[in-house]
């Protein structure tokens, strides 16, 4: 498998993957979404809630706050030595206390572990009016996206790498203008591909002129990975490959047992 970085920012990475098929591409996507664990608040105990929101509604909001995750310091509960009872190796405690009038933000959640904190401090949880108070304790654990989407580390998708063939186009300006991602340019009256990797295979150009042919390569893909901030993109990708390798080893063992 050959990889090439196409675009990169703090929480987003776009790469090309060559030498795999769509089954492998989709497997990587599903592993990153559903199997790479992150930390999220799973339990909330309210001591005071004078806000306009029910306990269940507010707890749901708190659970959706992305938390910075340290995969080296915490275990999944079902893989921990405590056997899921809860200990310092598989869970961490949060507290929140506020009195109105004020707006309560995600940054008001305080954790005993300074490495585990909300990714974004400015997510609104609830507004408190005068004399309204909020006090709660919460427990965050590692979990997987297949259990609940709040544990998913990001958004991941792929498409086939585009191939474009241009014949005797009758109206190049029309074809170039109809493309929503501005893939083409017109140079000396001829239609040319300027930004191949921006092509989303929508076929708008083909609908405009039969002399343009667009198709996706079967063994090359453009993969886009966008982190919610709990983990870095590189860590998510490498963890997905590690999980994939582990699952293949387990599958191999089961096959040997069945012989």
CATH number at 38-146: 2.170.120.12
Confidence at residue 148, expressed as pLDDT on a 0 to 100 scale: 95
Confidence at residue 157, expressed as pLDDT on a 0 to 100 scale: 94
Which H helix or E strand runs over 251? helix 233-258
Confidence at residue 41, expressed as pLDDT on a 0 to 100 scale: 96
Percent of the chain residues past pLDDT 90, beyond the cut: 80
In the block, residue with structure tokens 């991941």: 156
Confidence at residue 240, expressed as pLDDT on a 0 to 100 scale: 94
Q: What is the DSSP letter of 30?
A: H
Confidence at residue 46, expressed as pLDDT on a 0 to 100 scale: 97
* Cα–Cα dist 186/204, whole Å: 17
Determine contact, residues 143/151, Cβ cutoff 8 Å. yes
Confidence at residue 140, expressed as pLDDT on a 0 to 100 scale: 95
CB atoms within 10 A of CB 88: 13
Q: Where does the chain hold its CATH 3.30.1360.10 domain(s)? A: 2-34+154-224
87-144 confidence digits (pLDDT tens): 888 999 999 999 989 999 999 999 989 899 999 999 999 999 999 999 999 999 999 9
* Cα–Cα dist 42/246, whole Å: 27
| CA-closest candidate to residue 228, choices 3, 20, 33 | 33
Confidence at residue 206, expressed as pLDDT on a 0 to 100 scale: 92
Confidence at residue 182, expressed as pLDDT on a 0 to 100 scale: 94
* 3-state DSSP percent of the chain in helix, strand and coil, to 5: 30, 35, 35
* Cα–Cα dist 230/226, whole Å: 11
Intervals of the chain under pLDDT 50: none
The domain defined by 2-34+154-224 carries CATH number 3.40.50.450: no
For residue 77, the SS3 value is helix
**What does the buried/exposed string (b/e) look like for 109-137 if buried means 16 or more CB atoms within 10 Å of the residue's CB?**
bebebeebbbbeeebebbebeeebebebe
* Cα–Cα dist 202/217, whole Å: 15
* Cα–Cα dist 41/223, whole Å: 30
pTM: 0.84
Confidence at residue 183, expressed as pLDDT on a 0 to 100 scale: 94
For residue 56, the SS3 value is helix
Q: Where does the chain hold its CATH 2.170.120.12 domain(s)? A: 38-146
Number of alpha carbons in the 13 Å side-chain half-sphere of residue 199: 26
Confidence at residue 13, expressed as pLDDT on a 0 to 100 scale: 92
* Cα–Cα dist 62/253, whole Å: 41
């Amino acid at each position: 498998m050959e990889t090439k970085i196409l675009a990169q920012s703090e929480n987003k990475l776009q790469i090309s993957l060559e030498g795999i098929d769509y089954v492998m591409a989709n497997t990587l996507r599903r592993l990153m979404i559903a199997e790479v664990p992150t930390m999220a608040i799973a339990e909330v105990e309210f001591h005071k809630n004078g806000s306009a929101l029910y306990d269940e509604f507010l707890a749901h909001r708190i659970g959706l706050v992305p938390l910075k995750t340290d995969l080296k310091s915490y275990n999944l509960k079902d893989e921990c030595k405590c056997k899921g009872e809860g200990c310092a190796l598989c869970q961490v405690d949060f507290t929140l206390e506020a009195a109105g009038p004020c707006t309560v933000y995600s940054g008001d959640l305080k954790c005993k572990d300074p490495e585990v904190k909300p990714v974004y401090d400015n997510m609104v949880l609830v507004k408190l009016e005068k004399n309204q108070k909020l006090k709660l304790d919460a427990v965050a654990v590692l979990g997987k996206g297949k259990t609940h989407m709040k544990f998913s580390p990001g958004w991941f998708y792929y498409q086939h790498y585009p191939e474009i063939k241009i014949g005797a186009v009758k109206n190049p300006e029309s074809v170039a203008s109809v493309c929503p991602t501005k893939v083409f340019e017109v140079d000396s009256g001829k239609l040319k591909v300027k930004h191949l990797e921006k092509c989303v295979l929508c076929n708008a150009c083909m609908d405009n002129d039969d002399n343009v042919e667009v198709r996706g390569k079967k063994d090359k893909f453009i993969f886009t990975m966008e982190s919610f901030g709990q983990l870095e993109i590189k860590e998510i990708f490498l963890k997905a490959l590690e999980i994939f390798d582990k699952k293949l080893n387990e599958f191999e063992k089961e096959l040997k047992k069945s012989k």
